[in-house]
Structure formats: C-alpha cells, structure tokens
Structure 1
C-alpha cells in the first residue's frame, strides 16, 4: 500500500509539472502598457489612465504604462518582458510579431477611416512644391522607421509615383532625411520650416489644427496612400493564457466613446476580434521596399 501511495504521489507531482510546463508563463505581478509615439496631450493621458484603471479591475493586478521613445523601444520592451500590451500600427505590429513574438489579441477598427487614405505627404501652405517629383533635393521628415503611416506607406507612394527603386530613393533623391519621432512632430516640423515635406497619418494634421497647435490651412497635401486594415493590439506572447483571455474579453467588451475619441480620434472606433490575415498586404509592401525587422531595428 505504501508503494502505491508513493507511486500515486509521484504521478500527481509529474502531472503538476507537465501542467506548469504547458502554461504560457508565470502570472505577472503587474501589467504594463507601452504607448507608442503619437500625438498626445493632457486629455489623452487622462483618458488612458481611466482605461488602465478599468483594466486593473479586470485583471486584479496593478496596471502601469509608459510612453515609448520610439516604436523600436516599445518592441524591445515587449521582447524583454518589460511591457505586456501595445496598440501597434500594422507595420510595427508585423515587426513586433517577428522580432518579439507578440500575439494579436484584438484589432482596433476606425470606421471613419474605412476606405480613406491612411497616410499623407504634406508641405507648408506656401511651398513651391506641387508634386512628389518636386521633392528632389529637398529635406524630408518621416515619423519612425517602423511607422506604417509615417514611413512604410509614404515610402511606397514615393517609389510608385516617382517610378524609381527604394535604393534610388534612399541614395541621393532627398537632400536630407530625418525621423521626427512622432506624427505630431513631423507635422510641426513642416509648419515650422524644419522639413520641406513630411509624412504622417492622414488624420493628424486636422487633429492638430482642431486643437490649435497649428494654424488652419498651414499645410498642403501633395500625395496620399492607400487605406489600411485596422490597427493591431498586440500582447506579450509568453504571458499565461488566462491573462490573455482576460485582456481580450476586456477589450472586446470595452465601450467608452470618449476614450476612443480622445485616444484615436473617432468615437465610433472599437476593439474587434484580431485577424492576422488582414496584414498580408502590409507584409507585401514591406518586402517590396526591402524593409526587414533586422534592418529596421539595428
């Protein structure tokens, strides 16, 4: 009998070990959100804090956040288990999947942007620049190497409209190319004369204008990109499955128009089921421009 009891004890212990090994990771003592470099203000910070409080009530562990200095910094934080969640643009999402094993937990859909250009190239209102061909020899501001609307799409637009290769664009077409570090900074760089032209998400200039941060009609749009799928919400892949489930349930049931209006510029926005297939087109564009994660995140 004693041997049988010992055998059963060993079997139970081994089963527990297997169960532990089969889990996605240890339960976190806190949950950290990384906010990507975007246009921001006090109201957005306030609305983000309310979001974090509600998520805390769902998870039962403290929810913290930080503003990443770059898309790369947010992705590296996810890779090194320093951040657990981020709302990525489509391009930064596919880089995060490959580089940091991020998983899609939900998708942010913006009905107001459906079928509309996702990215624009702008110049100062009184600039002599009329077309992308006029940008030759000029200074240009992108947002971030891993920004969808601030780098990937506008670069694709330039290559297509100019009829040149990515290599030709990067080797002498512009006088100087900079990365502003944020969509608002790219727009302000144009309005203030720092850049002859810049790329940004199509909604950003009007948003800055409505908030009085730039003067009305202080810029002109000279080129537009194609539309985009929804924005991916990525979660750290090695979190326990029960945590992922709780976060997913929270997002899919989150219905606060004021949050979506202040955080993403549209009260009609909402979180829906994630679908990685929506980003096939983005992967194709990245491949055509020779933009790989390893090159972007050096």
Structure 2
C-alpha cells in the first residue's frame, strides 16, 4: 500500500479546513433564517431579513431608487409617484430616482442586487421579495376605512336563520368561484379548514365560475351560501343588481392587501426611520398619487407576519416554494399586469 508523505497529508488537511471553515462560520453567524434565502438572516423570527450585523455592510445611497409594481408600460407610474418622491426627498434629504421595470422578477432581482432601495410590491410578489431580496415591508395604502384591500365574505339569504357562522355551513351546498380564485376558493379552504370546517368534505362545493354568479345564486336560492369578495358584493349592491337586504354576511376574513411597500434590509437604520416618516406623513389628497389611486388617502404601518398571514397561508397550502428556480418565481418573469 502506498503511503502519502506527511507533508502532503498536512496540505490536504489545511485545504479541507479552508473549505469547511467558511461554511461553519456562515452557519454560526445565523441562528435562524426560516424560509429566507441564505443571503439573509432572521434571528428575531419576524419572518423578514435582519439588518447586517457588520456595520460596514449598511448603506445610505444617494439617490434613493424607488419603483412600484410594474405594469405593461412601467412609465405609467413614474408621473403618478412624482409628488411622493418629492416628499421623500424633503424628509430624507436624499435625491430620488424612479426605476421602471418590466416584470415582478426584475423588480425583486433589482432589490436583491442593491440597485433598488424602496419598492411597492404586488400582494403575491412581496412574499418572494421578502424571501429572495431581503425586502422589509413597512407600509400599505389606506382608505377611509383603514388598510386598503378586500375581504373574503360568506353570504347567505338574509332570511336564512339556519346559517349564522362558518360552522353552520356543514352539510350545506356552498358556492365557490373557481379552483384558481384566491378569495373565491383558496382562501375559504385555508381559513375554514383551520376553523374545523373542511370545504368539499364538511360541505358540498359548487363552482359557479364568477363572484357575481355566486351572489345571484344565493339570492335566487340556488346555493345555501357563497364565498365571495366583498368588493364584488358592494359593487353589485351599488349598481342595484341585488339589494343589501337580500343577503347577510356571516363571516369576514382578515383583509387581503393590494400592495406592500418595502425597503432593502441593508439600509442604515437612521435612513430607514426617515423613509418610514416620509411614508406615514404623506397625504394623497391633491397629489399625483391621489389622482392615480382614487379612494386611497395615505399609508399605514405594515406588520408582515400579521398582515400577510392569509397570503402566506394560501401560498404555502398550495405548495409554493420561495426559491429563484421555482416554477412560480419563473412565472413572475413574464410582463406584469396590475
């Protein structure tokens, strides 16, 4: 048997140690990261990236680069956000630049690479931005009622005394919209199952195809109840398609937010506080933002784990993985529509 010279064995040991040491060091420096990409850490377990531990990795860029969830023509929103960007400049003392992007994945990759500092992400893409780009959610648009968004509601005929809660849906015939509908199917399956009522098992699901069809089906007695978006019901009542007195709501879900605003995790803490101040102090009334987003009045603080609970639960229940090579993420590379 050939014996290796002691010097060669010593060299091999040193090489192996050099390869293993960085891996062990990386593992030691992050006690918990949850579903976040290995680039980030979540030791306080709030589901978003912690600031870098090394102060040298904190940045205070000038200009601050901002964008909003991309549409087919990214230039559409550059003018819409002009008044807010001027306000942001005044509060932070930094210049700003609007960065038009073609799709959600490009938006996420721009923040991951450090080319984007503040962004409004769509409801679903925010989850990928948090996990893959170190985005830290901080704000959501508000309207006169509070956080801007919509709810899943369960409706039944106003005179139906047999259904007063989700528990009363057992054994009934309930309209869902379609298997791909968030508020019209995926959300009911997620929320009701957690409440001890499993759709398709504890009650019969009937797919109506459309929210308004579900509403009309309840009014006409075709279904015992229906799971629909409250915004659709409100519009039907406003157009006198149905009367408010025709139905009653027996369940209202937490709000489904429409967009979340986030900053890059490695911004200097003092700058982050100024950015938050700019968001929370900005009033939409009489501004370019208010003209574009009618009915919205300003921003509210966002708590990701709480405010995106429904979105996260639905995505997880449907087997979505938050990685750059997942089929779902690749779909975000297509041109976006609001």
Q: Secondary structure at the match of 1:270?
A: strand
Give the equivalent residue in structure 1 for 2:88.
Answer: 55
Give the equivalent residue in structure 1 for 2:311.
Answer: 282
Is the 2:123–2:260 contact (alpha carbons within 8 Å) kept by the matching residues of 1? yes
Q: Does 1:99 align with 2:132?
A: yes
Q: Does 1:25 align with 2:58?
A: yes
Is the 1:106–1:251 contact (alpha carbons within 8 Å) kept by the matching residues of 2? yes
Which runs of structure 2 are paired with 1:198-213 in the superposition (5 Å)?
none
TM-score when normalising by structure 2: 0.48
Tell me: CA distance 1:43–1:96, structure 2 relative to 1, closer, same or farther (3 Å).
closer
Structure with bigger helix share is 1
Instruction: Choose the corresponding residue for 2:255, options 219, 225, 228.
Output: 228
Between Structure 1 and Structure 2, how many residues are aligned? 206
Q: CA deviation at 1:64?
A: 0.5
Unaligned runs of 5+ in 2: 1-52, 153-174, 191-198, 201-228, 240-251, 331-338
What is the distance in 2 between the residues matched to 1:54 and 1:117?
28
Instruction: Choose the corresponding residue for 2:79, options 37, 41, 46.
Output: 46
What is the distance in 1 between the residues matched to 2:72 and 2:280?
25
TM-score when normalising by structure 1: 0.54
Q: Based on CA coordinates, which of the two structures has the bigger radius of gyration?
A: 2
Give the equivalent residue in structure 1 for 2:272.
Answer: 244
What is the distance in 1 between the residues matched to 2:254 and 2:309?
14
Unaligned runs of 5+ in 1: 1-19, 120-130, 137-141, 143-150, 165-199, 207-215, 217-224
Q: CA deviation at 1:228?
A: 2.8
Give the equivalent residue in structure 1 for 2:101.
Answer: 68
Q: CA deviation at 1:100?
A: 0.8
Give the equivalent residue in structure 2 for 1:78.
Answer: 111
Q: CA deviation at 1:117?
A: 4.1
Q: Secondary structure at the match of 1:261?
A: helix
What is the distance in 2 between the residues matched to 1:78 and 1:154?
32
Give the equivalent residue in structure 2 for 1:261.
Answer: 290
RMSD: 4.4
What is the distance in 1 between the residues matched to 2:284 and 2:266?
29
